[in-house]
Amino acid sequence: MSDTVSVVQRTAVHISAIPVGEGRMLRVDGHLVAVFHLRGGGVRATQPWCPHRAGPLADGLLGEDELVCPLHARTFSLGTGEAGAGETGIVTYPARVSADGTIILTLPAEGPLPACSDA
């Protein structure tokens, strides 16, 4: 049995649809994803819900490459998904901005994205 997951690139929205320093929860081809427009101009994408109590991560506070859950201030790396010591991390997805300003996400080809746990 292979651990390889088939992925595809999916078009999300134009970068101008997400204000700088904010996130938005988007439905992209049936997948819910939190997408963030970093102050430096880049983009990041994560699972939509915090693994602690399902807080909406798109509403969290953004640092340089850190996300703070809006419900209980859990922190996560936007680059790796790692959380604070002893806490559950989040799933991140490759994201980039195309030459025309469209955000392109790399997501699993089939099935839903991983659900959150209510740990």
Average pLDDT, the chain: 88
Confidence of residue 5 (pLDDT cuts 50, 70, 90): low
Q: Higher-confidence residue: 6 or 50?
A: 50
pLDDT value at 119 more than 50: no
For residue 114, give the 3-state DSSP assignment: coil
Q: Indicate the burial class of 51 (C-beta count within 10 angstroms; 0-12, 13-18, 19 or more).
A: buried
pLDDT digits (tens, 9 = 90+) for 84-103: 888 999 999 999 999 999 99
pLDDT value at 70 more than 80: yes
Q: Which two tokens stand for residue 89?
A: 């991390």
pLDDT digits (tens, 9 = 90+) for 21-49: 999 999 998 889 999 999 998 999 999 99
User: In the chain, what are the domains?
Assistant: 18-108 (2.102.10.10)
Q: Give counts: helices (H), strands (E), the chain.
A: 0, 10
Maximal CA-CA distance, the chain: 42
Q: Tell me, what DSSP letter sits at residue 101?
A: S
Confidence of residue 2 (pLDDT cuts 50, 70, 90): very low
Q: Say which residue the tokens 């292979």 belong to.
A: 2
Q: How far apart are CA 13 and CA 28, in angstroms?
A: 9
Q: Which two tokens stand for residue 18?
A: 């997400």
pLDDT value at 59 more than 90: yes
pLDDT of amino acid 32: 92
